[in-house]
A and B are shown apart, each in its own frame.
Chain A
Amino acid sequence: MSNINRRTLVEGSLAAAIAGTALSRRTFADTTDPILLGVSGPLTGPNAQYGTQWKQGFDLALDEIMAAGGINGRKLAYTFEDSQSDPRQSVAIAQKFVSDPRIVMELGDFSSPASMAASPIYQRGGLVQFGFTNSHPDFTKGGDFMWSTSVSQADEQPLLAAYAVKKLGLKKLAVLHLNTDWGRTSRDYFSKAAKEYGAEIVVTEGYIAEERDFRSTLVRVRDANPDGLVLISYYSDGALIARQARQVGLKQVICAASSVYSPKFIELGGDAVEDVHVGTRYFPEDPRPEVQKFIAGFKKKYNGLEPDAFNAYSYDAMNMAAAVLKIGGTDRRAIRDAFAKVKDVPSVIFGAATFDVATRRVKGAMNAELVVRKGQFALWDGKPT
């Protein structure tokens, strides 16, 4: 790589000497400017919080990538365009990224409508759309430029079902799920697996994302007389449901999908989330070095803040992007091909991550069985609550 640097240095200084500042800046742009990733995601609007969490994960990963020498000696950076997770804006951003030669790969968007509306433009423009929160089963079917590290719910939900049915011995389950493409797909995989393990789903309730009041829903749940509640929720609605479940007098065991894994879940849920069981893809006490490095680094960079699942996704995504770029260089097509070549990239969510070329997703999410004890997530010790 040193010869590239030397060559560019020579070219750069020649150009600077000959053509003055404007031209020299352009020539320099090829090599001394950072390799640029485009991020399309929400910074304003109802999903703004997730965009903020993405940034935290990206920035931490970038610090580490730079400290380790960047991408073959070059800097890595990203430009974050606010889409509000709105398809109209994500398609415009897609055109912007596709026609900007500095952008070598795109990350995002957050929601399925915004991501999949932009997919045809990325596919035709030959720019990788790397979605890391896109669990919609059709996302990677958009074309061979769509890759994802979003855990396939087909992988994750059976693990949660095994935790609830086999380990905790729950035989009659109530499932509450977010009524979105993610919640719906997850619910279907969960219910199928739970039935295979011998449990019965006695009631299923889907709620919309803006919902805040669940008391009447929970009375329906109570009347179905389950021995366990399963929440396919994000942390904020999951905490609300747990609180209101205790308020309306439900004392059943609660299990929740990994998406509630956040310190915020405990902060928002308070005493009500004590003893809630969570299947998760990572947890702070996991001794694997990737996890410990991530958590220590995150706390150091953000004044003791505990990372959560979305921080981990974006951190992993940036590291994965770096690994791909190291192989693929800066050519867009070569970058697409490099996704099939990266092997065993260290990651928080997957351990050693490798893409399945057939699905263009990563297989084999890590799974830890946690329970909230004394206001903290802890490894489940095998004792039923």
Chain B
Amino acid sequence: MSSWLDYTINGLIVGNVYALVAVGLALIFGVSRLINFAQGSIYLVGAYIGWVAVVQLHTPLPVTIIFVAVAAALVGLIIERFGLRPLQNSVRIAPLLATIGISFVLDQLVMLTFSPNPRALPSQLPDVRFQVGGGTIGPLDLLIAGVGISSALLLFVFLRYSKLGWAVRAASQDRDAAMQMGVDVNRVNQAVFGIAAALGGVSGLLVGMYYNQIDTAMSLQATLKGVVAEVVGGAGNVPGAVVGSLLLGLVESYGVAVFGTSYRNLFAFLLLVLVLVLRPNGLFASARQAPPEPLTGTFIAPSRPVRIPRWALAVAVAVFAILPLLPVSFYVLQTLINAWLLGMLALSLTLVAGTIGQVSLGHAALLAIGAYTSALLSLTLAVPVGLAIIAGGLMSAALGTILISPSFRLRGHYVSIATLAIGEIVSLVILNWESVTRGPIGISGIPPLSLFGYDLISATSVYWFSFAVMVALALLQARLLSSHLGRSFRAIRDDDIAARAYGLSLNRYKSLAFIFGGFAAGVSGGIAAHLYSYINHETFNTQQSILALTVVILGGLGNVVGAVVGAVALVGLPEVFRIAAEYRILIYGIVLLLLVRFRPQGLLGTI
């Protein structure tokens, strides 16, 4: 029994670590209704500034903390001023994407400055340990807990009792009304970003000291766990973020205790989905909170889509169709094959995110389901590859819709968080369900693409095959969107209350959209599996989901042609910058930021 005390203590300790990130996220969400995906990168920057202070400048701990807090706050102010403020009148999704772009840029800058090798960040506290239960805790554990809880308390007091705090709350409830009352909203935003960034930086420092280790890949994981903790607690609720973090830590720890280490993150994300389903605003959402935003009507930019004449599209399709007959290298064809596969995924996402308003951050899971289904059917049951791919598409449609259906009743940012969690859950189930998926070993020796008994091996034939499939899916989708069904989808997106009042069954229409979208994504995953011949649980990861979302926003939400154009652009850009080696992700991030800044409705506009 004594072990349960240890599991509890360990859960609380790691929960404290999560709280450091979650509090900053909650503060920013509270004011700008923005999930700041760059918070993890500020945490990374804080850790490396801390390393400079500790290892090179030999500053004592209080000075180190102040130094890191001030430097990180400066980074936060710069992000707010130059990255986000110019976007305040554009679509809601724009700042979200901008924070993703900013995180690319910050991570890469740190990596280029400090090299990707992990470094030791020694703790500046004495290494004494107190016996608690079967284990020990040290001064750093207590300091982390102290910083997490006291910063939450201070913020709570600040928001409730100080004048600037009132302004912050006013701005978060109704930006325009606050401005009319004379609140300088920009000043408020700046203050919030500065405080959140200082917290984020200090948390990177403390966590680095706690593990005696910092590396440039730590930011995404921190963001993921921080977002989960924050949403569990109730987005925007600062004390809730602390409680949510502790709860997350405990659930993970008890999950390890009962089921073993490899299930750890599975329980974290299941907790998130459960909380979202039972209490869509988090555990500590107050009844007086402003009503959640209408679905994603606000995500959609007011724009006139670029209408591309039919003959131009036909010419473009013809040009791409005869491309392999022209003297182009296999490398170009292969890059375009990647673009067509990403295009199918983007078609799927642009339908559910753009047309019906369910922003999905876990779309790679649909690829994975299709890929595993098709690979296993063809490998173990000798199903012909063509049929196996179709079966993969159907399985993604069915399973994906069932898995994502709990998110149908959620709104706004919660939809994307829930789908993010569902994506992670699928990946972790694949990792752990060894009897079917072969677990971490993955599936190798997947037969190549074939059609009517003929193997499609050369880049040329794979190119034609994937291009034809994508064009077929695109035509089908265009037909769907111009039908009555497509208009119903858009009605739900633009105003779900009005649509419901008109008699549309939201769940049924959302299911229909996911069934079609799931099929396209599953087919894409199936083709990829036969193309790669080896897949494992990491082949289709969160980064794929983020890439897919970037593609559809770049192309224009709901825009079929835009999805394909976006896919070609985003597969092509990193290839074009391949020459820049270490700098290419940096350049990619900057290009993304510029696009969001100057063309937030996407290249071709939203339909």
Contact = CB atoms under 8 A, between A and B. Distances in A.
> Which of B135, B329, B575, B585 has the most A CB atoms < 10 Å from its CB?
B135
B582 A249 contact: no
Interface in A41-73: 43-46, 48-49, 51-53
A44 B333 CA distance: 24
A113 B534 contact: yes
B129 interface: yes
A92 B265 contact: no
A239 B120 CA distance: 10
B261 A52 contact: no
A277 interface: no
Interface stretch (B5-13, B274-282, B316-324, B550-558): B5-13
Given A113-B532, A208-B265, A216 B252 contact: yes
Contacts of B531: 91, 117
B441 A184 contact: yes
A219 B257 contact: yes
Contacts of B505: none
Contacts of B138: 247
B440 A180 contact: yes
A97 to B, nearest CB: 8
Contacts of B215: 49, 236
Given A208-B265, A219-B135, A52 B116 contact: yes
> Which of B135, B534, B582 has the most A CB atoms < 10 Å from its CB?
B534
A270 interface: yes
B450 interface: no
A339 B415 CA distance: 54
B488 interface: no
A124 B444 CA distance: 17
Interface string A252-292: 00000000000010011110000000000000000000000
A181 B442 contact: yes
Interface stretch (B94-102, B189-197, B384-392, B535-543): B535-543
A179 B584 contact: no
B253 interface: yes
A92 B338 contact: yes
Contacts of A222: 3, 134
A183 interface: yes
B584 A82 contact: yes
A240 interface: yes
> Which of A98, A208, A264 has the most B CB atoms < 10 Å from its CB?
A208
Contacts of B3: 219, 222-223
Contact of A113 (B261, B341, B442): B442
B108 interface: yes
B135 A112 contact: no
Interface in A199-240: 205-208, 210-217, 219-220, 222-223, 236, 239-240
B118 A92 contact: no
A53 B115 CA distance: 10
Contacts of B366: none
Given A89-B574, A181-B536, A264 B444 contact: no
A43 B579 CA distance: 12
Interface in B329-365: 329-331, 333-335, 338, 341
Contacts of B118: 49, 236, 264, 268
B405 interface: no
A49 B218 CA distance: 13
A113 B115 CA distance: 24
A300 interface: no
B435 interface: no
Contact of A116 (B117, B212, B444, B581): B444
B331 A81 contact: no
A297 interface: no
Contacts of B135: 215, 219, 247-249
B230 to A, nearest CB: 18
A91 B120 contact: no
A91 B260 contact: no
A213 B14 contact: yes
Contacts of B335: 92, 95
A291 to B, nearest CB: 22
A81 B580 CA distance: 10
B457 interface: yes
A5 interface: no
Given A112-B534, A213-B14, A267-B120, A184 B582 contact: no
Contacts of A268: 118, 120, 212-213
Contacts of A111: 538
B60 interface: no
Given A223-B3, A248-B135, A212 B533 contact: no
A99 interface: yes
B185 interface: no
A327 B300 CA distance: 63
A95 B117 contact: no
A52 to B, nearest CB: 6
Contacts of B584: 44, 82
Given A49-B117, A215-B135, A206 B532 contact: no
Nearest to B441: A181
A44 B583 CA distance: 8
A96 interface: yes
Contacts of B115: 49, 52
Given A82-B584, A216-B252, A220-B260, A95 B442 contact: no
A136 interface: yes
A247 B431 contact: no
Contacts of B122: 270
A119 interface: yes
A323 to B, nearest CB: 28
B256 A217 contact: yes
Contacts of A213: 10, 14, 17, 252
Contacts of B329: 95-96, 99
Contact of B11 (A92, A211, A216): A216
Contacts of B582: 43-44, 82
A113 B539 contact: yes
A225 B115 CA distance: 40
A236 B213 contact: yes
A264 B118 CA distance: 8
Interface in A61-120: 80-82, 87-89, 91-92, 94-96, 98-99, 111-113, 116-117, 119-120
A143 B6 CA distance: 51
A80 B578 CA distance: 10
Contacts of A89: 574
Given A124-B457, A213-B14, A207 B211 contact: no
Contacts of A116: 444, 532-534
A167 interface: no
Given A119-B533, A184-B440, A52 B117 contact: yes
B581 A43 contact: yes
A185 interface: yes
A240 B442 contact: no
Contacts of B212: 239, 243, 268-270
A375 B213 CA distance: 17
Sorted nearest first, the 8 A-B pairs with minimum C-beta distance are A117-B532, A116-B534, A48-B116, A95-B334, A96-B331, A248-B135, A215-B10, A49-B116
24 contacts: A44-B582, A49-B116, A49-B118, A82-B584, A87-B539, A92-B338, A96-B331, A98-B330, A99-B329, A113-B538, A117-B533, A117-B539, A119-B533, A183-B440, A205-B262, A206-B261, A208-B265, A210-B217, A210-B221, A211-B264, A216-B6, A219-B6, A220-B261, A243-B211
Given A44-B108, A45-B217, 4 more contacts: A52-B117, A92-B575, A181-B441, A249-B135
Interface of A: 43-46, 48-49, 51-53, 80-82, 87-89, 91-92, 94-96, 98-99, 111-113, 116-117, 119-121, 124, 136, 138, 141-142, 176, 179-181, 183-185, 205-208, 210-217, 219-220, 222-223, 236, 239-240, 243, 247-249, 264, 267-270
